[in-house]
Amino acid sequence: MKKYRLYRIARPIIKSFMKICYKIEVIGSENIPSENRCILAGNHTNNLDPLLIMSSTKRTIRFLAKKELHKGIFKPLFLSAGTIPVDRKIKDESVKIETIKALENEELICIFPEGTINRTKNIILPFKYGTVSFASKTNSVIVPFVITGHYKIWKKNIKIKFLKPYKLETNNLEIENEKLMNIIKNEIGGNK
C-alpha cells in the first residue's frame, strides 16, 4: 500500500531511535485496537510526543498537526506521513471533513486536545472539543493516553500509558470533554 509510505518507512527507525536514545517505557499498548476507527487523545508535553506515540503501535497513526509544519519543503514530508494540517486560529471545515473521512475509513487518529504543548505549571491545559466531537460524529472509540517524565537523552525518564478504550455515553460534548480531561488529569496526578 503506497498510502502514507513515508510513515511506514520511518516508523521502525523512529521506534529504534526513541528506545535507544530515550529508553522509553510504553504501557498499555494492547489497549489500542488493532483495527477499526479509534482516536488516541492525551496530554502534550514536548515536540517529541508524536515520535513517542508512533513508537507505541504498529498501526499507522494520522496526527492532527499545526499547519505551520506543512509549509515549504516540509509540506510533502508531513502530508506523505498522513498528517492532517490544522489552522489553530480558525474553525477549519477541511480539518473536520478530513478527520471524519479518516475515521469512517477505519483509521487511527491522534489528537492532543490541549491544542498545544503545555509549557505551564498546570497538570493540563483546558481541552478543546475536537476529540469528543469527532468521536460523537463517527461513533469512534477513544483511547486516552498519558505522557509523564521528561525527555532526557540516555536516561529512562519518559513513559506513555494507554488507558482503556471507551465510547461516549452521552451526546453532551461538554460533559464528555470534561470526562476525558478528568481521566487524563487524574492519571497524570497519580503518576507524579
Q: Would you say residue 109 has pLDDT above 80?
A: yes
Helix (H, G, I), strand (E, B) or coil at 83: coil
Q: Is the dihedral of CA 188, 189, 191, 192 positive or negative?
A: positive
Q: Would you say residue 5 has pLDDT above 60?
A: yes
Residue 1: pLDDT band with limits 50, 70, 90? very low
- pLDDT tens digits, 21-37: 999 999 999 999 999 99
The predicted pLDDT at position 192 comes to 55
Which residues are 144's β-sheet partners? 41
Cβ contact 27:47 at 8 Å: no
Distance CA 61, CA 9 (A): 13
Structural domain harbouring 131: 5-190
Mean pLDDT over residues 142-160, rounded? 95
Q: Which of 64-78, 82-96, 99-113, 162-176 has the lowest mean pLDDT?
A: 64-78
Give me the number of domains the chain comprises: 1
Give the domain CATH number at 140. 3.40.1130.10
